[in-house]
Amino acid sequence: MMLAPLVLVLEDEELISWDLEVLLAEAGYLVATARSCAQAAGFLDTRRPDVAILDILLSDGQCVDVAKKLRADGVPFIVHSALAPTEVDDAFRSGTFLVKPAGILDIVGAVTKLAAGDQRGTI
């Protein structure tokens, strides 16, 4: 029996984090959440998600190091932010951008594509 893909959700806004966790779990994914860059970095020290969803601006700064670690480890990720790709560090540009607030179907669709190996993950 195969385990469901693991999705790391890095989001400091509690309602958005909870919404993402619930909708991804309902879609059949295992979900881990982190509310800060430090929490996400600690998680990535011991686990490797199949896909990650990142907000850029968190209470402890921009998660540039998290994005770099994901990219170095070959973990595809979605950047779920109000910032445009032209406004962010290069580390985030290898992710799939979904501008907040993205629709549920867009988020699940992008996660599904990335988990299946489609590195573009775009809708």
Q: Contact 23/107 with Cβ under 8 angstroms? A: yes
Name the fold adopted by 6-118. Answer: Rossmann fold (3.40.50)
Question: What digits encode the pLDDT tens for the residues 15-26?
Answer: 999 999 999 999
Q: What is the pLDDT of residue 119?
A: 63
Confidence check: pLDDT of 121 > 70: no
Q: What is the pLDDT of residue 83?
A: 83
Q: Which of 30, 1, 39 is nearest to 115 (CA)?
A: 30
Question: What digits encode the pLDDT tens for the residues 27-67?
Answer: 999 999 999 999 999 999 999 999 999 999 999 999 999 99
List the alpha helices (DSSP H) in 1-123: 14-26, 37-46, 64-72, 104-115
What's the longest Cα–Cα distance across the chain? 43
The pLDDT of 62-77, averaged and rounded, is 95
Confidence check: pLDDT of 2 > 70: no
What's the start-to-end Cα distance of the chain, in Å?
29
Q: What is the pLDDT of residue 88?
A: 87
Binned at pLDDT 50, 70 and 90, residue 123 comes out as: very low
Domain ranges of the chain: 6-118
Confidence check: pLDDT of 122 > 60: no
